[in-house]
């Protein structure tokens, strides 16, 4: 008998009517003879509403209490979905993350899963119950409730699949698979049949919200095949696995983007070996996560340093840098908001030197100014004005012919 892990995201479980549709799928899997673990998210926009309620009562809510609050969302879904299944004659039992033995590190709001005690769910599966587990949550060794970061139910599902030795983890969502880019932004975006872990990982880290990057990382390390497909249609989804069968892969397989980027620049920094480390130590102390970094050495004495952050972190960044202005020795601080990061991703890029140039030409032709650049073997990221984002995505999608089917050319 094989074991299946099926994960349903927020939109898929948004209403009690939709829970019936989700139950249809689960019952079908159960009738095919599989043992089934189901992982669910909070219903619809529940997590967003809980976040905004917290902001109403506190400017900087306690991280511990945020975890206690946000973890309630998924608990509602597990109970309701189990009730629906039982009502329809399919034995089911709900488990919170901590009841399911999902142990995490002691970090609030962005904890990593450390281990899963499978002995807690096994007896239920043996009895023939569908086990409905709350995604996005776990517990520390000390019994503190933790959450796994936004989109973290994907990670719960993959971690459970790995712990229970499932070969595949099915991610049911509101799109029919992984597309060349977000189909809400580019209407010509095309669904990919397959994509490699590495490309998916890069797309996810660079902002493709369809999968949580940590879930992809976990799947890659545990060799779990991921299938992303729609909760609402029978259409075949996208398979994410080690090797994809393309003999002649395109240089660029997908585009990802992030909005709300802010660029901070420190001018007139002393040009000595320790300056940069002091700046980033100060930011790390405040848990400010920095993305793209560019340093310009102006002359023997002076350098300037620019870096990007999520706009939400601007206040913390300004606080810490202004407080340490003397010690860090910079003369001026400027920042620019309403920026976006647009990235092209593809493992074929490593052997195709012209790809970055092609990207810059395409943006220049549309008069889109590139403000910062960062590259790796399989991606090129650029910072542009957020108001140009749609145009940039559609242009790059066209230039790299992403709407066209990839074929094996000999």
Return residues touching ligand ADP (CB under 6 A). 9-12, 41, 151, 173-175, 178-179, 181-184, 208-210, 254
Q: Which of 97, 12, 100, 109 is nearest to 69 (CA)?
A: 109
Residue 47 interacting entry, from Mg ion, ligand ASP, ligand ADP, none, C-beta within 5 to 8 Å by type:
ligand ASP
Give the Cα separation of 245 and 352 in Å (integer).
Answer: 19
Residue 213 binds to ligand ASP (criterion: CB under 6 A): no
Instruction: Count the neighbouring beta carbons within 10 Å of the beta carbon of residue 235.
Output: 10
| Phi, then psi, of 321 in degrees rounded to 5 | -70, -40
Min dist CB 397 to ligand ASP, Å, is: 27
Contacting residues for 83 by C-beta, under 8 A, at least 6 apart: none
Residue 135 binds to ligand ASP (criterion: CB under 6 A): yes
SS3 273: coil
Min dist CB 228 to ligand ADP, Å, is: 8
SS3 224: coil
Residue 151 binds to Mg ion (criterion: CB under 5 A): yes
Cβ closest to ligand ASP, residue 50 vs residue 362: 50
Residue 138 binds to Mg ion (criterion: CB under 5 A): no
Q: Which residue number has the CB closest to Mg ion? A: 151
Min dist CB 149 to ligand ADP, Å, is: 12
Rule CB under 6 A: choose which of 136, 164, 197, 307 binds ligand ASP. Answer: 136
Residue 254 binds to ligand ASP (criterion: CB under 6 A): no
Residue 104 binds to ligand ASP (criterion: CB under 6 A): no
Residue 135 binds to Mg ion (criterion: CB under 5 A): no
Residue 178 interacting entry, from ligand ASP, Mg ion, ligand ADP, none, C-beta within 5 to 8 Å by type:
ligand ADP
Residue 207 binds to Mg ion (criterion: CB under 5 A): no
Query: Binding mask 56-85 vs ligand ASP (x if CB under 6 A, - otherwise)?
Result: -----------------x------------
Pairing of strands 168-173, 92-95: unpaired
Report which DSSP code applies to 368: P
Could you tell me which residues are beta bridge partners of residue 291?
none
Query: Binding mask 2-21 vs Mg ion (x if CB under 5 A, - otherwise)?
Result: -------x------------
Contact between 248 and 409 under an 8 Å Cβ cutoff? The reply is yes
Cα–Cα distances in Å, from 10 out to 46, 48, 154, 224, 226? 8, 11, 11, 23, 18
Contact between 185 and 175 under an 8 Å Cβ cutoff? The reply is no
Residue 237 binds to Mg ion (criterion: CB under 5 A): no
Min dist CB 137 to ligand ASP, Å, is: 9
Question: What is the H or E stretch that residue 195 is in?
Answer: strand 194-196
Q: Which residue has the tokens 């189901």?
A: 38
Cα–Cα distances in Å, from 3 out to 79, 122, 129, 148, 261? 22, 11, 12, 24, 42
Looking only at residues 281 through 310 of this chain, which bind ligand ASP when binding is defined by CB under 6 A?
Answer: none
Residue 97 binds to ligand ASP (criterion: CB under 6 A): no
The residue ranges that bind Mg ion (CB under 5 A) are 9, 151
The residue ranges that bind ligand ASP (CB under 6 A) are 9-10, 41-42, 47, 73, 135-136, 150-154
């Amino acid at each position: 008998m094989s074991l299946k892990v099926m994960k349903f995201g927020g939109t898929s479980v948004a209403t009690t009517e939709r829970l019936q549709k989700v139950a249809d799928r689960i019952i079908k899997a159960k009738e095919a003879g599989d043992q089934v673990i189901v992982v669910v998210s909070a219903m619809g926009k529940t997590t967003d509403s809980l976040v905004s309620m917290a902001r109403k009562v506190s400017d900087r809510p306690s991280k511990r209490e945020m975890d206690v609050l946000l973890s309630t969302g998924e608990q509602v879904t597990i109970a309701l979905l189990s009730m629906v299944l039982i009502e329809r004659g399919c034995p089911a039992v709900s488990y919170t993350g901590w009841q399911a033995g999902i142990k995490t590190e002691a970090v609030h709001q962005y904890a990593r899963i450390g281990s899963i005690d499978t002995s807690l769910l096994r007896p239920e599966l043996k009895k023939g119950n569908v086990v409905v587990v709350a995604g996005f949550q776990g517990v520390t060794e000390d019994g503190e409730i933790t959450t796994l970061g936004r989109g973290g139910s994907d990670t719960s599902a993959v971690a459970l699949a790995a712990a229970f030795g499932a070969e595949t983890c099915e991610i049911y969502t509101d799109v029919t698979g992984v597309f060349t880019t977000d189909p809400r932004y580019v209407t010509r975006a095309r669904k990919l049949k397959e994509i490699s872990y590495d490309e998916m990982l890069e797309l996810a880290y660079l902002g493709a919200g369809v999968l949580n990057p940590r879930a992809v990382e976990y799947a890659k390390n545990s060799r779990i095949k991921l299938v992303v497909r729609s909760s609402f249609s029978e259409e075949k989804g996208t398979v994410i696995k080690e090797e994809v069968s393309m003999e002649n892969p395109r240089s660029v397989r997908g585009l990802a983007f992030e909005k709300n980027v802010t660029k901070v620049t420190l001018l007139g920094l002393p040009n000595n070996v320790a300056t940069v480390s002091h700046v980033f130590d100060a930011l790390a102390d405040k848990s400010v996560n920095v993305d793209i970094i560019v340093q310009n050495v102006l002359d023997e004495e002076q350098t300037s340093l620019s870096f990007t952050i999520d706009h939400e972190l601007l206040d913390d960044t300004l606080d810490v840098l202004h407080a340490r202005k003397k010690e860090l020795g910079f003369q001026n601080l400027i920042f620019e908001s309403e920026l976006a990061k647009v990235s092209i991703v593809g493992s074929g890029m490593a052997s195709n030197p012209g790809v970055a140039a092609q990207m810059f030409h395409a943006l220049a032709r549309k008069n889109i100014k590139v403000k910062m650049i960062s590259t790796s073997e399989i991606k090129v990221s650029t910072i542009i004005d957020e108001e140009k984002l749609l145009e940039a995505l559609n242009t790059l999608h066209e230039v790299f012919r992403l709407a066209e089917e990839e074929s094996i050319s000999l």
